[in-house]
Structure 1
């Protein structure tokens, strides 16, 4: 009997393992593992250099020269460090890959606690980014439309931002049905090229335009209370600009791994290239944008620029193409989580109908929320502080301490503790300022205008 029980248990275990393998072959993150190192580079650029870069001059205007440059530089170094940690922890032991952020959380904190800690935060980031990108895509489409119309003699019918968000969202009704993460590679490559292009256009066009008359670098707010809240919100804007951590393990999951060539080597090669591009995009846009416009800069630097019309129109179209790709890079891991949960926990069959229903519903939801709450600057700060700070700035450090167990009071221990303290402070302070900014913007806002 005991032998029979062992055989039954072994057979059940093998069947469960086969079912998990079949599900992984269907889910978008693990369906294809043939990515190259340069896939990592442009996926990371697409994930990181997004709407956030356009808000950096505005963040500088709220922070001031010294704190603004310090916040950019510290964030660049800290997030590169925490991203390296996540890449290292992707394969904590031979033969085991943690392909999703929540799997790393479960490995560090336990099956249930890991899910409770990571999944809500990651979902907030992914959904928050996609809402902001709906707003960004619609805003940039409107700016393109208005710029082309004013530059030509043709009379264009007036259209609201809501119309353009709906147009932008309708494109995702088709793109969201690509089967796997690797299938968005071409879109992601185009998006990475566009992000570098419009970032370059933003600072070059700003520099060529020259300084605004009577430019001022004093704080935007007239009261000390307002300045404090704006400072907090600006920290969230900076945090939002470094968003790639929420999809980094899912990106690494698409890269093959062998004992001779573990996935972390090509992955980090791509990360170094991506972070070099991030530096070349962020710092010129932030510093030159603030230098030329001062505290009168808009929360989207391209909105502040008016001439030359053809270049501004092109830059806004580049933004549209980029956020098309960025939306998919953040949505694909969310589809993976949602579809995996429906199949494993709710016993749905992994069918095409399930995908069509879940993905279409998600795109419609994010488009609706983008139309309803298009507060670009406030959304950046709120999501940047409340959701991005944990998953980007300090959660990887906590998991590193749990998994790697560095010696207490060692240099590595101190570095991680300092990152945790900074990240927690950012998570607490940034949403306070951003929420106040959203409330102030909402006072005069008319829905769907």
Structure 2
């Protein structure tokens, strides 16, 4: 896949892009910043205080800092591996995996995990968008008739039947930029609102009061919630693929610059929200911090609307690679012509399926934990390390070798623990939930 750059003045149709080997490469370095921020700083930030309530001050802070450092290291690895073969760009996660593990095994190692991350994010964002839209309307219009939460999720989901027809990453740049600004804004509002509120009466920072068995599974789920907060790796190669590259100016330089800025913004969003939110509510914090905050009403209503705008963009950032995979597969396997009819059918079906699952299982915290462990821990914490070892082959017991194996062991533990915890909690909560209520 040879690097190429398309002059901005040249208009390229959607059908012509299908004939090329890669996506259009016209993005600037700051595009990667707001795409990465949109991909990472999502609904998961609002559940970080809830995860802290199960982990406690010490372990919770350590896990949060460790996750931030580990995923910054693994995103650096993926950026470096994007052009690890001269003259070739691995524009998708599964293409890099094919190079690392072979043409048969490679796609099966990464592609299912990547799809779990992307589809899982879109399901969670359906739930988040509907819940925050409901909260916004309840605050903004106190005399309005209350309608079911499932209806609000459907209202939010209906927007994506239209937005999903945008052809590619470049076409959603404006939506993604707005989403990145919103994520920084509502994260700031959430922890500033906590500071203004001050700790609740008789606040307790003891571990949540529950039986030992349930507590263990809830701790596992908390690890998954933190994993969910570092989800940008599933789309980082697709983001880098939109940046032009030459031997003199390889794409890894502007992409890394954008990723570092994105991680700085991520830290500004995550750490104050997690620590101040837990400081304010203690063990009584809810799994969505904005739902717990009520004063001042106009500010909390604005924050909920910002979340809605943000997850609109985040949904599209995660959906675009899925659309690309589905449409290219149909074109190659069934000789279906690319264009608007294909987009209309495939993308509408995808939106409808994610909407159906989101309405059926609107368990925000449990979904974060399950998808965080099952899909996000592998793609963000240890699969990049395994591919680095396979491709770069660092010397045994060197710093790089030890660092990668440490990430692999920690990431594997988080994957199994949080998957078990999240699945168990979904089953428990489903037993007492009235569906479509």
TM-score by length of 2: 0.95
Find the aligned partners of 1:193 and 1:35 in 2 and give their Cα distance.
18
Shift of 1:347: 2.4
CA contact (8 A) 1:28 1:180 kept: no
Query: Corresponding residue for 1:411?
Result: 399
CA RMSD, 1 decimal: 1.4
Q: Structure 2 CA distance, aligned partners of 1:157 and 1:391?
A: 43
Residue 392 (structure 1) aligns with: 380
**Residue deviations 1:351-370, cap 9 Å, x none?**
32111100010001111110
Corresponding residue for residue 155 of structure 2? 167
Which residue pairs with 1:356 in the alignment?
A: 344
- TM superposition shift of 1:179: 1.0
Secondary structure in structure 2 of the residue aligned to 1:55: helix
1:90/1:104 contact within 8 Å kept: yes
Match of 2:252 in 1: 264
Match of 2:277 among 285, 289, 299: 289
Query: Does residue 133 in structure 1 map to residue 125 in structure 2?
Result: yes
What is the Cα deviation at residue 434 of structure 1?
1.4
Larger Rg: 1
Which of 63, 66, 88 is the aligned partner of 1:71? 63
Q: Does 1:107 align with 2:99?
A: yes
Residues 445 and 162 (structure 1), Cα distance of their counterparts in 2 relative to 1, 3 Å cut: same
Determine the C-alpha separation between the residues in 2 that align with 1:79 and 1:31: 26
CA distance in 1, matches of 2:424, 2:21: 37
Equivalent in 382, 386, 396 of residue 370 of structure 2: 382
Among candidates 279, 287, 296, match of residue 299 of structure 1: 287
1:84 is matched with which residue: 76, 82, 101? 76
Q: Which residue of the other structure, out of 233, 236, 241, is the alignment partner of 1:248?
A: 236
The C-alpha deviation readout for 1:215-262, integer Å capped at 9, x for no partner, is: 011122422222211111100000000000000000000000001100
CA contact (8 A) 2:15 2:339 kept: no
Report if aligned partners of 2:23, 2:241 keep a CA contact under 8 Å in 1.
Answer: no
Q: CA deviation at 1:30?
A: 4.0
Relative to structure 1, the CA distance from residue 363 to residue 298 in structure 2 (aligned partners, 3 Å threshold; closer, same or farther) is same
What is the aligned partner in structure 2 of residue 147 from structure 1?
139
Structure 2 counterpart of 1:225: 213
Question: What is the aligned residue count?
Answer: 424
- Alignment correspondent of 1:45: 37
The structure 1 residue matched to 2:187, chosen from 194, 199, 214, is: 199
Q: Mark the CA change 1:30 to 1:147 in structure 2 (over 3 Å): closer, same or farther.
A: farther
Q: Is the 8 A contact 2:278 2:285 kept in 1?
A: yes
- The question of whether the paired residues in 2 share the 8 Å contact of 1:47 and 1:244 is answered with yes
Gaps of 5+ in 1: 1-21
Kept in 1: contact 2:179–2:313 (CA 8 A): yes
| Deviation, structure 1 residue 94 | 1.6
1:320 is aligned to 2:308: yes
Q: 1:28: how far off? A: 11
Partners of 1:290 and 1:28 lie apart in 2 by 50
In structure 2, do the counterparts of structure 1 residues 156 and 30 end up closer, same or farther at CA, with 3 Å as the change threshold?
farther
**Aligned pair in 2 of structure 1 residues 28, 123: CA closer, same or farther (>3 Å)?**
farther
Contact 1:27–1:340 (8 Å) recurs in 2: no
> Residues of 1 paired with 2:45 and 2:279: CA distance?
16
Q: Which residue of 2 aligns with 1:401?
A: 389
